[in-house]
Structure 1
Amino acid sequence: MHRAALYSAVFRFVALILLALSVSQRSMAAPQSDDVSADARTPAYTGPWDIAQLYRVPEYRWGETTDRVTEVFYQGLLRDGQPTTVYGVVARPANATAPSPGVVLVHGGGGTAFTDWATLWAQRGYVAIAMDLRGQGPHGERLPHGAPDFDELFHEVNTDPTGDETNADTFWSYHAIADVVLAHSLLRSLAEVDAERTAITGVSWGGYTTSLVAGLDLRFKAAVPIYGCGNLGVDSAWKGDIDGLDEHSRALWIKWFDPISYLAQTRCPTLWVNGTNDFGYPLGAYRDSYRAAGYGIDDAPLVTLGVKVGRPHGHRVAWAVPEPYVFIDHVLRGGEPLPRLAPIERDRDHVTATYTSPVAVVEAGLHYTTDTGRWQDRTWHSVPATFDGDTVTATLPKEHAITVFLSVTDERGLYASSDHLTVNE
């Protein structure tokens, strides 16, 4: 086994052990209905959620329809003893003659249920559902019984005299994760959707949500977190917020709401899209996350990487990235796959990675930084690499390179990267 693959296997094994400990330490198991508890798609660890409840179709009603996009209002979990209301949109493809694959779209900070985004997927033949995870309605108005907004991401956990935590329902993540899984249940119930062909993708905080849901809602067949990941308490733009919690609250936030607590349960193929200098989700935490999901492990779900030097961060720039569409098309519709690189390996003054691609590769690159410190502040350099057969090879630069990774681009213009490797301290 290659060293990088061994690291990934060890990381995933440790994550699974932590999951087992989390399950054994839970004060009360979530009640589950017979049909769901017998379902192989029920994860071992479900955090603060009753997964049987989330796998049921929520109550919902339709709103206005404009250009094949219909508003939907569905019931979320309780907040302050009252059911929450979630606003979303469902976009349908034109001229579909059979049930279509479905996709769940999850926005990030400052986002909402984007009609434009749902329409992009509908134009590709999908029934797409996008929901607002900020407690807002169609015009940005606060819903009377809306879920928490992002200002409720981090706060202390209350504990009652029996030792049970009592305020999980006050956290943004509690409702956001639940509302995404409920949206999936709603989508799967629609007659025009093939319930066994569904995927999820999200941007920024939506990528965070996607990476967590990939290990919680095991009905998905593919997941594409863009920018967002787990291990936020180790390294992220919000590490200070998490560290600012009291010790008990910090530990419980990570146990409940950090994707790293769930990623080892992921069973579907995943594509991870990020930039080298992302402000919120740096490469160290990102690598921890995709390794936990199975990168570099032969018998784990397929993990494909798309880390690019200087990739910008934003909703609309993320929608313009072609790889998520091609990746999900491959898994759900039998289209050609993306190129994919195995973990990078070092051999003295060279680094290599094997790759697969259904079409010819036309370009390969070595990307390196000579900087240390915050990932967000490092300067990256790119030089051509050689490719032959199924292997990319590059000579390490004479400069004191600290961190390197490899990439390929195929004749379709589609890009894939390896993981990164520290070659000098």
Structure 2
Amino acid sequence: MRRLIAAVALAAPALLAMPAAAGAVPAVSAVPPAAGAVPALNAVPAVARAGAGPGAPDVPADLRAEEVSFRGGGLTLHGTVLSPAAAGVPRPGIVLVHGAGGGTPRTALMTEAVAFARQGMSVLVYDKRSAGYSLFERSYSLLADDALGAVAALRARPGVDPGKVGLWGLSEGGWVAPLAASRAPRDVAFVVLVGANGHTPLRQQTWAVAAGLRRAGVSGSLVDRAEPAMYRMIADAGLFPEPYHDAEGVLAAVRAPVLGIWGVHDLLTPPAESPPLMAAALERGGNHRHTFRYFAGADHAAHLTPDGGVTRLPELAPGYPELVGSWVRDVTSGRTPATGTSGPAPVQAVRTVPVEPSAGWESAPVQFAALGVCLAGFGGYGLVAAVRRVRRAGPASGRVSRAAGLLAAAGPVVMLGFFGYMVHVQRASAKLADPGPLLAGRPLPWLALQILAVVAVAAGVRVAVAWGRNRALVRGAERARTALLLAAGAVFLAWAVYWGLLLP
């Protein structure tokens, strides 16, 4: 049933490439660096390494790289350990945990890995699993097992102090890293979070898409009603993995020091709400060692952005790697870091709203049943009309309004067009794309669906009035198909109100 709902209603939308949705990130753009941008952190000439595996990246000449394999949550995973080339006393280590996306290669985080290695750490970055990870399936518990497998591998490396190894998590990794740290407090010495969120993944993703629409000038029922209702239905159908993950509860169980970092132009997680929410959760658990910092001109991943978070540049925010390096040195040397939040004020125009599970009357099975009733009623009426024309049986009784044909045609166009358009909206929003031309705050396709929905309802009223006047004179199959059409029209009316097609 769940897969059928997905196929008919959503056509396997790419909205979970988050976040979040949970935590999708814009692609690096070819836009030239903004004025004042710092030089690329991997500007040192890279050298290829003999014998490197197919997933092994090239690394700068001032660093040393070693390939590692380790067991995660039932899989053997592969990664690279970057370290300063010069030997010395055992150094701190940090494991990088990816954001959303199955099979993300280690090369996606090489800018961060190089920057942190230059701060005197050994950095393990690994290829993210694809097995057991998809739009419809993922487990933060399994991802946390992968991260802990990487921690164990890094703690065992020569030159790494096993008591000074921690986790860094980006976006979705901001839910995974704390979960891993809460499970192994003796193994994880610290936690660094970038673009992390204290809300549930479903609330985060719903906010990110709605905020993007509002930022583009969209208003009204599309963003106020249809978008959050669609995500609730997706979660109810079991098609949104980990929708109600208890981020606050997990944070309350973390005992290691936590460094949180956000770009002021984070468009994928609410930057103004996250630090106080996460600080409160840590404090409830008795963890007073948390340092939170905003970076100016930075996006969701703390990379520089020239346009308010839409475009990601390759460069990290100035001072970000240095903050991570100095903070790790302090906490692993027993020095207590400053507690609190600092940096410029973040940009968050719209607050998040709670996204509760669907009530029974609006659940995914009910939505699917409503769709089935409507398509059967509308389609059945049209099919009989087509058969009559083929057989040249003459027109159906004129005592029932000809508006029946209009209702039978407009209804399915609105319903199928609605779901198709919502898939498009969510895909475009996940890519931070413009929704297109607007009229009175409504994208033109949405406005067209609303107008067509009004036409269908008006035609249904006309059919109902004609049916009431002439019902006794309508016989046989004509009576049955018209009654079914009216039933479909009544369901359509309730459906269109629920999804906001008949609301301002």
Q: Which residue of the other structure, out of 288, 300, 318, is the alignment partner of 2:287?
A: 300
- So what's the TM-score if we normalise by structure 2? 0.43
Amino acid at match of 2:105: T
Q: Which has the larger radius of gyration?
A: 2
Amino acid at match of 1:267: R
1:22-61 matches, within 5 Å, as none
Amino acid at match of 1:104: V
Amino acid at match of 2:193: P
- Residue 293 of structure 1: SS of its match in structure 2? helix
- Residue 237 of structure 1: SS of its match in structure 2? helix
1:122 matched to 2:109? The reply is: no
Please state how far the C-alpha of 1:374 moved relative to its aligned partner.
5.2
Q: Could you tell me how far apart the structure 2 residues matched to 1:327 and 1:335 are?
A: 9
Q: Which residue of the other structure, out of 265, 269, 288, is the alignment partner of 2:257?
A: 269
CA contact (8 A) 2:72 2:150 kept: no
Give CA deviations for 1:222-262 in whole Å, capped at 9, x if unaligned. 1111112232256312576873356596999367x443331
Q: 1:368 to 1:116 in 2, by over 3 A?
A: closer
1:92-171 matches, within 5 Å, as 92-109=83-100, 111-114=104-107, 115-135=110-130, 147-149=131-133, 151-152=134-135, 155=136, 171=138
CA contact (8 A) 1:131 1:180 kept: no
Q: 1:119 to 1:277 in 2, by over 3 A?
A: closer
Runs of at least 5 residues in structure 1 that lack an aligned partner in the other structure? 1-61, 79-83, 136-146, 156-169, 343-354, 356-363, 377-425
Q: 1:103 to 1:368 in 2, by over 3 A?
A: closer
Please state how far the C-alpha of 1:190 moved relative to its aligned partner.
1.9
Select the structure that is richer in helix.
2
Q: Which residue of the other structure, out of 187, 191, 195, is the alignment partner of 2:158?
A: 191
CA contact (8 A) 2:73 2:143 kept: no
Q: 1:96 to 1:191 in 2, by over 3 A?
A: same
Paired residue total: 258
Show the counterpart of 2:395.
none
Q: Could you tell me how far apart the structure 2 residues matched to 1:100 and 1:253 are?
A: 36
- Residue 197 of structure 2: SS of its match in structure 1? coil
CA contact (8 A) 2:82 2:124 kept: yes
Q: Could you tell me how far apart the structure 1 residues matched to 2:240 and 2:347 are?
A: 33
CA contact (8 A) 1:112 1:132 kept: yes
Q: Which residue of the other structure, out of 179, 182, 191, is the alignment partner of 1:212?
A: 179
1:311 matched to 2:298? The reply is: yes
Give CA deviations for 1:145-192 in whole Å, capped at 9, x if unaligned. xx344x34xx4xxxxxxxxxxxxxx52534322111110011112232
1:237 matched to 2:205? The reply is: yes
Runs of at least 5 residues in structure 2 that lack an aligned partner in the other structure? 1-51, 208-227, 304-313, 354-428, 430-504
Q: Which residue of the other structure, out of 166, 183, 195, is the alignment partner of 1:227?
A: 195
Q: Could you tell me how far apart the structure 2 residues matched to 1:254 and 1:101 are?
A: 34
Identity %: 22
CA contact (8 A) 1:234 1:285 kept: no
CA contact (8 A) 1:211 1:230 kept: no
Give CA deviations for 1:50-77 in whole Å, capped at 9, x if unaligned. xxxxxxxxxxxx9579662122233333
Q: Could you tell me how far apart the structure 2 residues matched to 1:104 and 1:226 are?
A: 13
Amino acid at match of 2:330: H
Amino acid at match of 1:332: T
CA contact (8 A) 1:238 1:280 kept: no
Q: 1:276 to 1:122 in 2, by over 3 A?
A: closer
CA contact (8 A) 1:198 1:220 kept: yes
Q: Which residue of the other structure, out of 39, 45, 70, is the alignment partner of 2:66?
A: 70
Amino acid at match of 1:131: Y
Report which structure shows greater RCO (CA 8 Å, sep ≥6): 2
CA RMSD of aligned residues (A): 3.9
Give CA deviations for 1:88-132 in whole Å, capped at 9, x if unaligned. 111122222332211111222465313443232222221210112
CA contact (8 A) 2:138 2:242 kept: no
Amino acid at match of 1:330: D
Please state how far the C-alpha of 1:195 moved relative to its aligned partner.
0.7
